[in-house]
Amino acid sequence: MMQGEEKSYEYVVIGAGPAGLQTAHDLQQAGLDYLVLESGDTPGTFYTKFPRHRTLISSNKVHTGFDDAEKNLRWDWNSLLSDSPEMLFKNYSRKYFPAADDLVRYLGDFARHFGLRVRYNTRVAHVTRNAGEFHLTDTDGNRYRAQRVIVATGYARAYQPPIPGLELAESYNDVSVDPADFVNQDVLIIGKGNSAFETADNLIPAAAVIHVASPMPLRMAWKTHFVGHLRAVNNNFLDTYQLKSQNAVLDATIEKIEKRDGKYVVSVSYTHANGEREDLFYDRVISCTGFRFDVSIFDESCTPDLAINDRFPRQTSAWESTNVDGLYFAGALMHMRDFKKTTSGFIHGFRYNVRTLVRLLEARHHGRPLPRRAVPATVEALTAAVLERVNGSSALWQQFGFLGDVIVVPEEGEAEYLEELPVDYVHDGALGLNRHYYVVTLEFGKIEGDPFAVERNPNPEFASGSTFLHPVVRRFRGIELLSEVHLIEHLYADWSHPELHVRPLSDFFAASLDPVMA
């Protein structure tokens, strides 16, 4: 492509991280015209720097006891979806929490293995929309036209909460990762996510005092099931707090930061102390407050509306901008639809979203109906179809409660079984107009109290009280929920017991398929 030349594509994907590569792979498999524009000289540029301490929090469980490739993806959080056994992340690392550099190496090989059409060292500087077509310009002046744009850039800018004086703090993005630079210093870390505790853990041997602070109490992933909350790999710091080693986790609003006599003076208001306020003094202040979506490349003709404190582009249930037709989002940006609930902000979640997005694009723009298969509309056939999916699917497992299978039952003839659709999308669109359909999901129950001391009732009649992941089947007429059945949780996630699982599901279908009962 010569400088100044303008080329046209059906799809331009911005970003060649894991989401961009998954999108490219799926567009290519679908035979669609696309180009990926990547600012760096390799896929996964973000991961060449982040996380700063170079250990991922995405699980890489190589040995599962299963030979089923689909099922093994339940515990493989780093592989992209493809039909190539070579392109599984277990071939790149055997560590349960692998190194970020191994992911970069994997992504580069994935792009080469499939011959994905990626243009590197190409930073998009400007995006406009005219007469229903997008026009993109890179920093070298090259121009691209696209019928549709898919943004897979992730969170490209640091999020700065409105704290007066925050500009005085060092940023997680740039702060030293050498503990020797913090010897005998008092350090405040703002934020309670994994980046904050990753930073704190690194400083334990060197710093004199470490405080980790934010207004809200700490949330542990093992209780919330949201893997963006604090993970065990980063929680060593909690021992140093509870066992009186000078460190502390503070629930406090930071009202302002000032620099005085070579020290940082941080004014805080404690969340759980009857309004107590205090000035605290530190040698260093580090901001670990996360990232946000960068809209700066879009002009007024196609600037997407934002959501969740302007951290995400606002999206429909099909991951399209709510105010810019043809502008879609892939990867971590999809997390707007299930923010802090399920796993769309992570590879093991958004890889399935991306696959579904491309199927939705094929259906909407290319006349290819969503994949579906015929299933006899009988109790036995529907029961077998559901149990096969909940016992084997990795998508339903990873995207619990967010992606679901749909079974549409007509008045006559065979039922149609569709896999892995956003539940909100089902209810928003034509599928939600059917008078008899089911949505199949895997879901966690609500945990009250200690997640390691949950009282269980082994009676299948009380399956709706299951707290661990378990199947749920709901019957709808339009958007009206008519009935539902929960299958009781199982230690090995094997929902095939004749009395505990098969019979309750069969009875549910028998009742809903019976014209008198229904």
Contact assessment for residue 80 and residue 347, using Cβ atoms and an 8 Å cutoff: yes
Within 8 A by CB and 6+ apart from 413, the residues are 377
Residue 449, sorted as left (phi over 0), alpha (psi -120 to 50) or beta, turns out to be left
Distance CA 356, CA 450 (A): 36
> What's the mean pLDDT in 256-271?
97
Contact assessment for residue 356 and residue 424, using Cβ atoms and an 8 Å cutoff: no
Helix, strand, coil percentages (3-state) for the chain, rounded to 5, are 30, 25, 45
Position 398 scores a pLDDT of 97
> What's the mean pLDDT in 93-98?
95
Position 3 scores a pLDDT of 59
* CA-to-CA separations, 503 to 158, 353, 383, 387, 498, in angstroms, rounded: 52, 32, 9, 11, 6
Does the pLDDT value for residue 1 go beyond 80? no
Q: Which residue has the tokens 């500087």?
A: 125
Q: Specify the CATH number for the domain of residue 316.
A: 3.50.50.60
Number of domains in the chain: 3
> What's the mean pLDDT in 278-302?
95
Distance CA 154, CA 454 (A): 37
One domain for residues 399 and 355: no
Distance CA 348, CA 58 (A): 8
The pair of three-digit structure tokens given for residue 280, joined into one six-digit string: 């605290």
Distance CA 37, CA 421 (A): 28
Residue 82 falls inside a structural domain:
yes
One domain for residues 324 and 454: no
Distance CA 236, CA 220 (A): 13
Domain that holds residue 61: 6-157+292-365
Position 514 scores a pLDDT of 75
Q: Which residue has the higher pLDDT, 513 or 517?
A: 513
Position 516 scores a pLDDT of 46
Structure confidence by residue, pLDDT tens digits, 203-220: 999 999 999 999 999 999
Q: Is residue 51 reached through a cis peptide bond, with omega within 30 degrees of 0 on the bond before it? A: yes
For the four alpha carbons of 417, 419, 424 and 429, in that order, the dihedral sign comes to: negative
* Whole-structure pTM value: 0.95
One domain for residues 134 and 50: yes
Distance CA 208, CA 187 (A): 8
Q: Which residue has the higher pLDDT, 2 or 160?
A: 160
One domain for residues 226 and 107: no
Among the candidates 365, 393, 426, a domain finishes at 365
One domain for residues 395 and 282: no
Residue 518 falls inside a structural domain:
no
Structure confidence by residue, pLDDT tens digits, 413-435: 999 999 999 999 999 999 999 99
> What's the mean pLDDT in 102-131?
97
One domain for residues 420 and 472: yes
One domain for residues 492 and 392: yes
Residue 1 falls inside a structural domain:
no
One domain for residues 378 and 350: no
Among the candidates 268, 289, 310, a domain finishes at 289
Q: What percent of the chain has pLDDT over 70?
A: 98
Q: What percent of the chain has pLDDT over 90?
A: 89
Position 291 scores a pLDDT of 87
The pair of three-digit structure tokens given for residue 189, joined into one six-digit string: 């870390």
Residue 428 falls inside a structural domain:
yes
One domain for residues 284 and 297: no
Does the pLDDT value for residue 518 go beyond 60? no
One domain for residues 132 and 181: no
Structure confidence by residue, pLDDT tens digits, 445-495: 988 888 888 888 999 999 999 999 999 999 999 999 999 999 999 999 999
Band (517; pLDDT cuts 50, 70, 90): very low
Residue 506 falls inside a structural domain:
yes
> What's the mean pLDDT in 1-14?
82
Tell me the β-bridge partners of 149. 12, 327
Residue 65 falls inside a structural domain:
yes
Band (361; pLDDT cuts 50, 70, 90): very high
Nearest to 193 by CA among 226, 170, 167: 226
Mean pLDDT computed over every residue of the chain: 95
> What's the mean pLDDT in 72-77?
97
Residue 270 falls inside a structural domain:
yes
Contact assessment for residue 399 and residue 349, using Cβ atoms and an 8 Å cutoff: yes
Torsion angle defined by CA atoms of residues 368, 371, 377 and 382, in that order, rounded to the nearest 10 degrees: -170
Neighbours of 447 (CB within 10 A): 15
| Segment holding 280, helix H or strand E | strand 277-282
**DSSP per-residue string spanning 379-402:** HHHHHHHHHHHHHH-SHHHHTTTT
One domain for residues 55 and 134: yes
Residue 208 falls inside a structural domain:
yes
Structure confidence by residue, pLDDT tens digits, 37-70: 999 999 999 999 999 899 899 999 999 999 999 9
Among the candidates 289, 316, 346, a domain finishes at 289
For the four alpha carbons of 193, 197, 198 and 203, in that order, the dihedral sign comes to: positive
Nearest to 179 by CA among 208, 203, 201, 212: 203
One domain for residues 272 and 314: no
